[in-house]
């Protein structure tokens, strides 16, 4: 029987895969142990829906695939899905009363691709309602608790995914990143997470928040595990109009991300003791402003020094429109949310009020009862900026700023650096309820992640230290050029071979 938490016996997906293939443990045993551990960690509130029968059926199928020698790269690996991916069998609620009892008739593409790869789903993970939030406090099911400090938030909106992985309940989990919702919870929970280039992973079956921003990605303990999950998730989906069909035929081949990762690793190995020789790291001066707390700044600085010791060169750059990313994002994302959430009207599906006088009253009451305060706040803001007379002044202007933000990144990569590094969040995790009276404070915590999402670039978070006053995890953000996920993961892997922050577990600093 596997020991739990999973990482105590299997430090990586590769280690668990080898144990499964050698029959030292079965997928069914791993799944059952993980289900028992999920129950014992119910206080974290990370899971919203667990169905042991469904999970164990997938585990038995994985055992059969392993016994038959089938090529299933994730056969028997336990994962979980953020509750914005629709799933057959499990409820798909987006952590909202609006979809409280909804069960999808089909699987999201991300879910089906990971199932085809042999992964065993242990259930649906808590998140901010409709992925709107930065602390995982807007869920109708209550806040998720950070495994490092149960009084602290895990970050959002993919807080359930990050908390479950950090607590050792899963080897990996899916998340979504609209403005930082993979990178931020990964940073605050001391694990790794990557948001790939927009369009790399299918959005089909992902309950939409901001259609031009939402992107799926994995959360795991370290970079190599991210690669193991991101590869089968990725690829063109003809059923998703935002999915990218790469014009480069070589880039569109299966294994594209792994191939670029392997090429980067091979290049690093040739460089010997300085594996990142010549890598230019852009450090934006705008990321080190007065909002950044001293302990986070110090941890990021020490991480940059490690990269320099590995041969990288630090280059100071400027992303001059960083401060404009917050107003631009909080015009564009709510506008898209207003459009996407208009389908929830109490007529076709979703919550319908019990008491109403006519159709208009039914729709109004159903939406008021079904949506929580943060969702209502963003829908109202989005509806306002799309109104006649305000569309040009706000929405179109925000789109122009978005293009300029993307141009800043494009100039930096073309002229100055190969990757960009800096903090993920201005501080370590806040306590649950700290920002209850000031919801805008949550918006400000996304200052270092929003620009990447507006530009559609790939970026990831890796653990790089702990706070001083509050000894909670700190994350380093690594940003790459378009379609450079493989190289990003290789750079992160090199850093993680030189440090042990990703190996720390709750209760140990």
Nearest one of 78, 83, 88, 72 to 56, comparing CA atoms: 78
**Chain position carrying tokens 């994985």:** 62
What is the phi-psi region of residue 423: left when phi exceeds 0, alpha when psi lies from -120 to 50, beta otherwise?
beta
> Sheet holding 215-220: strands in order across?
47-49, 120-125, 78-82, 172-177, 215-220, 192-195, 459-466, 473-479, 419-423, 280-284, 313-317
Q: Which of 139, 157, 202, 243 is catalytic?
A: 157
Report helix, strand and coil shares of the chain as percent, to nearest 5.
45, 15, 45
121 is catalytic: no
136: left (phi over 0), alpha (psi -120 to 50) or beta: left
Given 96, 181, 202, 325, the catalytic residue? 181
The encoded tokens of residue 288 equal: 């080190």
Spatial separation of the C-alpha atoms in residues 194 and 458, rounded to whole Å? 7
Residue 196, CA distances (Å) to 14, 216, 285, 384, 408 in order: 22, 8, 24, 31, 19
Among candidate residues 33, 82, 158, 202, the one labeled active-site is 82
Place of tokens 């089968």: 232
Long-range interactions of 322-326: CB distance < 8 A, separation 24+: 322/284, 322/286, 322/287, 322/405, 322/447, 322/448, 322/451, 323/286, 323/447, 324/401, 324/404, 324/405, 325/405, 325/447, 325/450, 325/451, 325/454, 326/443, 326/444, 326/446, 326/447, 326/450
User: Which helix (H) or strand (E) segment is 400 a member of?
Assistant: helix 397-415
- Among residues 452, 451, 454, 446, the alpha carbon closest in space to that of 488 is found at 452
Catalytic, 355? Answer no
Encoding tokens for residue 418? 């190969």
Q: Is 157 among the residues known to form the active site?
A: yes
What residue has token string 């299933």? 72
CB of 139 closer than 8 Å to CB of 157: no
5 preceded by cis ω (within 30°)?
Answer: yes
Cα distance between residue 12 and residue 65, in whole Å: 20
**Tokens (6 digits) for 203:** 């959005």
DSSP sequence for 246-279: -SSTTTTSTTHHHHHHHHHHHHHHHTTT-TTTT-
Report, as residue numbers or ranges, the catalytic residues. Answer: 82, 157, 181
């Amino acid at each position: 029987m596997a020991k739990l938490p999973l990482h105590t016996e299997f430090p990586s997906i590769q280690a668990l895969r080898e144990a499964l293939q050698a029959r030292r443990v079965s997928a069914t045993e791993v799944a059952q142990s993980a289900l028992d551990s999920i129950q014992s960690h119910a206080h974290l509130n990370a899971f919203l829906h667990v169905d042991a029968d469904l999970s164990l059926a997938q585990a038995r199928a994985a055992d059969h695939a392993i016994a038959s020698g089938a090529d299933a790269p994730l056969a028997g690996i336990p994962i979980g899905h953020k509750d914005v991916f629709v799933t057959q069998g499990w409820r798909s609620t987006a952590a909202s009363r609006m979809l409280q009892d909804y069960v999808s008739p089909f699987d999201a593409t991300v879910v089906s691709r990971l199932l085809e790869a042999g992964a065993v789903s242990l259930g649906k993970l808590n998140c901010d309602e409709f992925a709107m939030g930065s602390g995982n406090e807007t869920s109708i099911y209550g806040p998720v608790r950070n495994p490092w400090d149960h009084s602290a938030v895990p970050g959002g909106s993919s807080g359930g995914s990050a908390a479950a992985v950090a607590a050792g309940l899963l080897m990996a989990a899916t998340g979504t990143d609209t403005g930082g919702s993979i990178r931020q919870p990964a940073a605050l929970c001391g694990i790794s997470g990557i948001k790939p280039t927009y369009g790399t992973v299918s959005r089909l079956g992902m309950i939409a928040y901001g259609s031009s921003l939402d992107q799926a990605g994995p959360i795991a303990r370290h970079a190599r595990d991210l690669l193991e999950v991101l590869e089968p998730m990725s690829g063109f989906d003809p059923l998703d109009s935002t999915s990218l069909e790469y014009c480069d035929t070589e880039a569109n081949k299966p294994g594209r991300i792994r191939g670029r990762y392997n090429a980067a690793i091979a290049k690093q190995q040739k460089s010997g003791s300085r594996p990142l020789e010549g890598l230019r790291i852009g450090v934006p001066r705008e990321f080190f402003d007065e909002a950044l707390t001293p302990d986070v700044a110090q941890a990021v600085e020490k991480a940059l020094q490690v990269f320099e010791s590995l041969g990288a060169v630090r280059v100071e750059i400027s992303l001059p429109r960083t401060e404009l990313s917050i107003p631009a994002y909080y015009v564009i994302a709510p506008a898209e949310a207003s459009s996407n959430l208009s389908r929830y009207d109490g007529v076709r599906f979703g919550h319908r009020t019990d008491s109403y006088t006519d159709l208009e009253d039914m729709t109004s009451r159903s939406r008021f009862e079904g949506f929580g305060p943060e969702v209502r706040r963003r829908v109202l803001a989005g509806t306002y900026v799309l109104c006649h007379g305000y569309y040009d002044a706000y929405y179109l202007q925000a789109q122009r700023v978005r293009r300029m933000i993307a141009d800043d990144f494009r100039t930096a990569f073309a002229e100055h650096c190969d990757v960009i590094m800096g903090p993920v969040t201005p501080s370590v995790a806040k306590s649950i309820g700290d920002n209850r009276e000031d919801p805008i404070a949550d918006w400000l915590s996304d200052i270092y992640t929003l620009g990447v999402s507006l530009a559609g670039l790939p970026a990831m978070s890796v653990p790089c230290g702990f706070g001083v006053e509050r000894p909670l995890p700190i994350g380093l953000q690594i940003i790459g050029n378009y379609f450079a996920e493989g190289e990003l993961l290789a750079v992160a892997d090199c850093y993680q071979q030189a440090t042990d922050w990703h190996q720390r577990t709750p209760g140990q600093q």
